[in-house]
Chains A and B, each alone.
Chain A
Amino acid sequence: MASPQPLGYLRHFTSPGEPFDSMGISAPNLLAVSTENVCRHYQMGEALVRAVDGISIDIRAGEFVALLGASGSGKSSLLNLVAGLDRPTSGAVIVHGTDLAALSREQAAKYRLHTVGMVFQSFNLIPSMSLLENVELPMRFAEVDRRDRSTLARESLERVGLRGRLSHRPMELSGGEQQRASLARALINRPKLLLADEPTGNLDSRTGTEIMELLHSFNQSLGMTVLMVTHEQALAEKYAGRMLHLADGKLVDDVPTDHVSNISSEPVRAPWGETQ
């Protein structure tokens, strides 16, 4: 893969000419995520639910991986383990060389703050805050200077096409707009890993495609590792470089796709109107 150049609207994530390693994004072919026989079992009354049951996968830095499977197959549970929101019952989840199970609660919070960006099916914007405040929120936790974070959040939202919506509250926006704001928020602290839990699940197909192209552009232009949970095989085949099929908490198939180069070779129209 040719050395990616940062997209215009993401220029605050990296200075021109700055290698991705220096901003925390690893060079391709290094392992970004590795799970070793990871299990997540829940006790539901007397029944033991094996949400994730001995999954071992390796995801290289810069890969776009789709997690597919029926409801209850363990996709979201695996995503939560990689996000550091949950801890495995057994096995290991290693992200950029760090075993997440060994982290304290405080360290896990720092990991989520600096290493991971999350996008959810239901957007999960805080309803009482404006879009600008929502995007600023992770920077508050990261103790970014007040003036800087306002500028960064404003630029970030303007460049996902929400210039006129800065002071709007989430309820005043369409699903696509909310998801774009959610993406701007997920990327604001420059994560190495973007985790998306059914990001198009609540969107119509046109808006869903728009969001997928955004995700794809981040993956292609920034070399950011993307792990996406989805039900939609077609979207996965079109945008992901690899598809992991899960069933009953187990990995049942690991299929590479050959669409990535095709897509990246085509002009990608970023939602802010620039053509890459």
Chain B
Amino acid sequence: MKFYDVADLAVRNLRESVFRNSLTTIGISVGVASLVAMLSLGIGLQQLASRRLQKSGLFNTVVATSRRDLRNFREQREEGLPPAESPSLNELARKKFEQIPGVVEVYPDIRFVTEVRFDDKPHLTTVAGIPFSARNNDDAFDGMQGSFFSSDASPEVILQKSFAEELLGITPKPGADNTNIVALAKSLLGRELTMHYAERTAYSSGGPSDSTAYSVVSRERALKIVGLTDLDPDSMRGTARARVFLPLNFAQDLHVMQSNLRDTSASDSPSYTSLSVRVQNPNQVPAVEDGIKKMGFSAFSVVDASRSMRQFFAVLDGFLAIFGSLALAVASIGIVNTLVMAILERRREIGIMKALGASDADVRGLFFAEAGAMGLVGGAVGVTLGWAIGRLINFGMNIYLERQHFPPAQIWSVPLWLVLSAITFSIVVSLLSGLYPASRAARLDPVQALRYE
């Protein structure tokens, strides 16, 4: 029998017992829906985590250090120039790094401990310079109160939430609900604080210039509070290891004396202990790392950690798929039951078809086609249902996140491959379920079948 005829007869037969077949198909749909919903949440979470980690800068940043630096613990194991001959990590190196393909920006690590005065009260804290690009690339500032810096050199400041609480004299009780960041923002945004710091200036004694000599001058700057972020200051991320943030260029121009800046003067060509090299795509990290090493510097990244993350999500998706497939396995029993019932009901019809010349393959094909059609329809409906369930969970989760003052997140994703795989899987499971009924129908003795009333 031609494929068209098999399909036509199968659809006709399914329509004859539309109620029972619909129930079986709904069973398959529920199975596929649970599979799709589980996997769409798994995939969504994976994408969310990937996006977050990518935005955090952990996976697209290479940290370059000079091999001259005694604190570089890896220098003995690395190949290349001996530490003594390694070039200095200065502005020239910074420019060279910027020319490596895939590099978006290169910036130094500006971080210092200093005193901040607010309402005439002193507070000691860590201040960090933040590159202006973090506005778009760093999710630390997603959902922040207020706004990001208006420019890279403006005397503005963003405060970490716990420091904002400290400025206002609020002490959160352990175990109590978090202080509302919106209320903190209302009290602080637009106000000024004063930062006291030690500026390093070139030493001028009238004699020949000495690049190793410098003087320290006490300074203070008024800074406008423009934003509040609730980023955890104890997290491992570079931007987070401070409680007060300044625009990077502004912070650099202050020439604050800091322990990790190796330059010993306020000259235009300072030497850095480390430079952060931001790469466009995490996949380019190894190549950029190699490029930096070839220039005679040390370089490291945490790109390997992303592999572990992918492995974790692969395992998570596997578990979700197994649990999602359980419902489909139950549905497959429904298919077997429906088709076996159909054989009993259509026993005489099978006998007639055989008497008229239908081969075993024709009868088998017919039952296979019926199972496949139920799988196809059940798969398509199930994918739609799973998509809707995932979307509903996402919607509910976002309401919850909003109430917890978190930015909205997409924790659900139904890529095209999932749609096609789920429908294919549904058809394959249905065909496997139809294997026994189809071969049983094909083996029917036509004489016995024709006697059946």
Contacts and interface: CB of A to CB of B under 8 A. Distances in A.
Given A85-B446, A106-B361, A128-B12, A118 B356 contact: yes
Contacts of A105: 359-360
Interface string A144-163: 00100000000000000000
B357 A138 contact: yes
A110 B447 contact: no
Contacts of B4: 146
Contacts, number: 67
B9 interface: yes
Contacts of A112: 354-357
Interface of B is mostly: helix
B356 A138 contact: yes
Nearest to A76: B447
Interface string B427-453: 000000000000000000011001000
Contacts of A120: 355, 450
A247 interface: no
A185 B352 CA distance: 12
B232 interface: no
Given A128-B16, A140-B9, A80 B356 contact: no
B357 A124 contact: no
A119 B41 CA distance: 60
Interface string B327-354: 0000000000000000000001100111
B1 A80 contact: no
Interface of A is mostly: helix
Interface residues of B, number: 24
A73 interface: no
B362 interface: yes
A189 interface: yes
B358 interface: yes
Interface residues of A, number: 26
Contacts of B357: 109-110, 112-114, 138, 141-142, 189
Contacts of A189: 357
A86 interface: yes
Given A137-B353, A141-B1, A146-B4, A109 B450 contact: no
Contacts of A137: 353, 356
B21 to A, nearest CB: 13
B194 to A, nearest CB: 90
Contacts of A80: 447
Nearest to A115: B357
A44 to B, nearest CB: 13
Given A106-B361, A126-B349, A141 B447 contact: no
15 contacts: A83-B355, A85-B354, A85-B450, A105-B359, A105-B360, A109-B357, A109-B358, A109-B362, A118-B355, A120-B355, A124-B450, A141-B358, A142-B357, A143-B2, A185-B356
